[in-house]
Amino acid sequence: MGFLDQLTDMVGGEKFNQYKNILSWIETQGGIRGLINKFEQQGFGGIIQSWIGSGENLPVSMEQISSIFGTSNISALASKVGLNSEQTSSLIAEYLPKLVNTATPDGKIPEKLDLTSIGLKLLKDKFFGS
């Protein structure tokens, strides 16, 4: 049994698949650069820039997530992961700052960025420490 299989068993297959689906969805939003554009277009550029920079990460609310990505986009993702829109927005609001912060350790967006690997590392660190 491989590491990902063991991790899936530990966190429960459904939860792990939800997490993977959210990571894939973030990629479909244009990755980090797409996220920056979406946040800036909705007037929340300062929030995402705080995650990229070296200072404190500003929080993002469920309502802001819905505003940034649109309720229909969140609803579609919610259906895919088996949660309601509020739960899905809450998960995104909780994990997106950590994901972006981890993906941009030097305050810059790397040329080759694999968000799925970074997200899985965050999940692994949550259960096994860094």
**How many angstroms separate the Cα of 43 from the Cα of each of 33, 37, 40, 53?**
15, 10, 5, 18
pLDDT of residue 126: 66
Domain that holds residue 58: 19-123
Domain CATH for 61: 1.10.10.690
| Structural domain count of the chain | 1
The pTM assigned to this predicted structure is: 0.79
Whether residue 7 is contained in a domain is answered as no
pLDDT of residue 1: 44
pLDDT of residue 6: 55
Whether residue 104 is contained in a domain is answered as yes
pLDDT of residue 115: 75
What is the separation of C-alpha 115 from the centre of its chain, rounded to a whole number of angstroms? 9
Whether residue 75 is contained in a domain is answered as yes
Whether residue 8 is contained in a domain is answered as no
Whether residue 11 is contained in a domain is answered as no
| Alpha carbon distance, N-terminus to C-terminus of the chain | 22
Mean pLDDT for back-to-back runs of 10 residues, the chain (130 residues): 52 69 89 93 96 91 96 95 93 91 85 76 65
Whether residue 128 is contained in a domain is answered as no
